[in-house]
Amino acid sequence: MQDSNGAPVIADPVLIPPAPSGTTRLPDGRTLAWYRFGAPSGEPVLYFHGFPGSGLEAAWAGPLAARLGVQLIGIDRPGYGDSTFQGGRTILGWADDVADLADALAFDTFGVVGMSGGGPYALACALRLPARVTTVQVVSGLGPVSPRGLEPGMARFNQLGLWLGRRSWTGWLLQAGRPLVHHVLTRYPERIVARLRAQGPPRDRDALDALGPVLQESFRRGVRAGARGMVAEAGLFARFSGRWLAEVTTPVEWWHGERDHVVPVSMARRAARVLPDCRPRFFPEDGHFSVVARQMEAVLGDGGSEGV
């Protein structure tokens, strides 16, 4: 399949599993749920989903991973899908959960891919697990938030969320909105995807034709147990300053569309300036989702198509 510009996009038939592939009990008693796609005995790559979402999101690259011999593991973060909520968690603390899961799955080393809101978590693993993480790929990833919490080029709803999340007095408002968020994501995820499609550049519209069904089900499944995890994470993202990015010595590859209105490219450029070893690839005509659709083969293959 090709997009309106004649470029290849993900077009494999995707099988959406009815439930996670497995769950792992962590040392503190919590459970992490995960989905396995691709080659069952292939080189492991851990996929960190966007916001909102679930580990099911990795399904859109499942057939591609199988062809490349990659074992792709999509993980529900705490409070999403079938993973236990964790009060007071941090972005850096995610690396501890990942290490425990990798131990349980007998992965000595592994690659990580962070999509959108999963980007900071991939970077956390790069910092905390340098001896175990073989590759770090950030795709349309959230970068450090500006001190004012406002990002030029970001959709107004997203900007509002960041602005509210940085202010302590709005905590009650975010908590009060949890039932509504759960209702909308459970009952009307197709409307959210349709809005993303309408607001995005042409390449995003083409990409969402292919990726939309998986994204809708990922939204729905992510709030299966409520929106508590999502609301808590919104606060983490709003306060993500990226101060520790300068300590990340593991090489990072960053893939970002310059027409991304969900996570504007300014955030990627800000992160790339701070990371000591970062290879940014910027694509002038791509948006938030078309980078996934058009570049995932290169992402999973650790190289390939060049941006600018």
Angle at 225 between CA 188 and CA 118, to 5 degrees: 80
pLDDT of amino acid 303: 42
For 22-49, how does the pLDDT look when each residue is reduced to its tens digit (9 = 90+)? 999 999 999 999 999 999 999 999 999 9
- C-alpha 67/C-alpha 53 separation (Å) is 25
Region 186-201: mean pLDDT is: 91
Region 156-161: mean pLDDT is: 63
pLDDT exceeds cutoff 60 at 137: yes
pLDDT of amino acid 7: 47
Query: Rg of the Cα trace of the chain?
Result: 18
Q: In sequence order, which residues have a C-beta less than 8 Å from that of residue 154 and are 6 or more positions away?
A: 162, 261, 262, 263, 264
For 226-245, how does the pLDDT look when each residue is reduced to its tens digit (9 = 90+)? 989 988 898 899 889 999 99
pLDDT exceeds cutoff 80 at 307: no
Q: By three-state DSSP, how is residue 283 classified?
A: strand
Q: In sequence order, which residues have a C-beta less than 8 Å from that of residue 282 and are 6 or more positions away?
A: 256, 257, 258, 265, 268, 269, 307, 308
pLDDT of amino acid 118: 97
- C-alpha 62/C-alpha 174 separation (Å) is 34
pLDDT of amino acid 29: 97
Q: In sequence order, which residues have a C-beta less than 8 Å from that of residue 65 and are 6 or more positions away?
A: 37, 38, 39, 42, 45, 71, 72, 300
Q: In sequence order, which residues have a C-beta less than 8 Å from that of residue 18 and are 6 or more positions away?
A: none
Identify the band that residue 284 occupies on the pLDDT scale cut at 50, 70 and 90: very high
For residue 262, the 8-state DSSP code is: S
The mean predicted confidence, pLDDT, of the chain is: 88
pLDDT of amino acid 178: 78
For 247-274, how does the pLDDT look when each residue is reduced to its tens digit (9 = 90+)? 999 999 999 999 999 999 999 999 999 9
pLDDT exceeds cutoff 70 at 150: no
For residue 279, the 8-state DSSP code is: E
pLDDT of amino acid 179: 82
Identify the band that residue 1 occupies on the pLDDT scale cut at 50, 70 and 90: very low
pLDDT of amino acid 145: 87
Closest CA to 129 of 90, 101, 96: 96
Task: Kindly report which listed range (97-106, 194-203, 276-285) carries the lowest average pLDDT score.
Answer: 194-203
pLDDT of amino acid 6: 45
β-bridge partners, 39: none
Percent of the chain with pLDDT over 90: 71
Task: Kindly report which listed range (26-40, 78-92, 154-168) carries the lowest average pLDDT score.
Answer: 154-168
For residue 277, the 8-state DSSP code is: S
Identify the band that residue 4 occupies on the pLDDT scale cut at 50, 70 and 90: very low
> Which run of H or E residues covers position 280?
strand 278-283
Region 99-126: mean pLDDT is: 98
β-bridge partners, 72: 37, 45
